[in-house]
Amino acid sequence: MSYEEVLIVARTRMGGGRVCIGGLSSVGENLRLMNQGCRSDVAGESPYRIGEWWKVKCEPCGEQKPPHVEDVAVAERSRIKTESDLGAYLLAHTAPWKGPIQTLFDEKIRFTNNGGGYISPDDVPTHATGFWIPDRDLDLESDARGKTGYYYDGVRHLSYVGTQDEVAKIKKGQLVRVSLARWWKPENADADFEERCYAQLSGSF
């Protein structure tokens, strides 16, 4: 195990009331902070808040199946401080994708007929998380199922899964965090239907 200083950059809603904690280490490594059982905690039991620095003792855990290679199990943790300007820090210490939505995830993102972004097992990026500076406004809309997402051009979109309050519009040029859900396919899908990682937006700065 090793000690890491980690900046909390995202709290992402999951099923079962759990929350996925996204972090960025002081050396620029994307991490997903899990408990000692290599699971995400229930939201009310997770102490991490966006913008906080934590010192954690951790080690890689779980399957580490690309693109999800960020999981670490935390054995010890202590809060250090709060970052005074989170957006400025991230701009200075990350390399966001810039431009249209198709640049996301090393230009490996694809889109369903309904416009939802996803990754296919035929073309997998190196990581499941990253940052993006879009070249146009992203508008918050709901689809026919009532699920909210940020729409890039009225069709192509990313589901919103963050715990921060939703805003009606994310302005072009504003930094956002994006991530990929775990590999999944519908239970009633045909045997030859591929698993996919669906793209999500978890916060803006």
**178-200 pLDDT, tens per residue?**
999 999 988 887 888 899 999 99
Q: Report how far residue 121's alpha carbon sits from residue 152's, in angstroms, rounded to the nearest whole number.
A: 24
Residue 171 has pLDDT above 80, yes or no: yes
Average pLDDT, the chain: 95
Render pLDDT for 48-73 as a digit per residue (tens, 0 to 9).
Answer: 999 999 999 999 999 999 999 999 99
Contact present, 48 and 31 (Cβ < 8 Å): no
- 3-state SS, residue 24: strand
Is residue 28 classed exposed, middle or buried when 0-12, 13-18 and 19+ CB atoms within 10 A define those classes?
exposed
User: Which residues lie closer than 8 Å to 32 by C-beta, 6 or more apart?
Assistant: 20, 21, 22, 23, 68, 70, 71, 72, 129
**Residue 8: pLDDT band by 50, 70, 90 thresholds?**
very high
Work out the widest C-alpha separation in the chain, in whole angstroms. Answer: 50
Peptide bond into 125 cis (omega under 30): no
Residue 149 pLDDT grade (very low, low, confident, very high; cuts 50, 70, 90): very high
State how far the alpha carbon of 55 is from the alpha carbons of 28, 144, 175, in Å: 15, 43, 25
The domains located in the chain, with CATH, are 2-87 (2.40.50.140), 95-204 (no CATH)
Query: What would you report as the CA-atom Rg of the chain, rounded to the nearest whole angstrom?
Result: 17
d(CA 154, CA 145): 16
Per-residue pLDDT for 151 more than 90?
yes
Could you say which DSSP state residue 184 is in? B
The pairing of beta strand 129-134 with beta strand 117-119: unpaired
Q: Are 7 and 49 in contact (CB under 8 A)?
A: no
CA nearest 203: which of 70, 13, 5? Answer: 13
- Residue 2: pLDDT over 90: no
Residue 117's region, left for phi above 0, alpha for psi from -120 to 50, else beta, is: beta
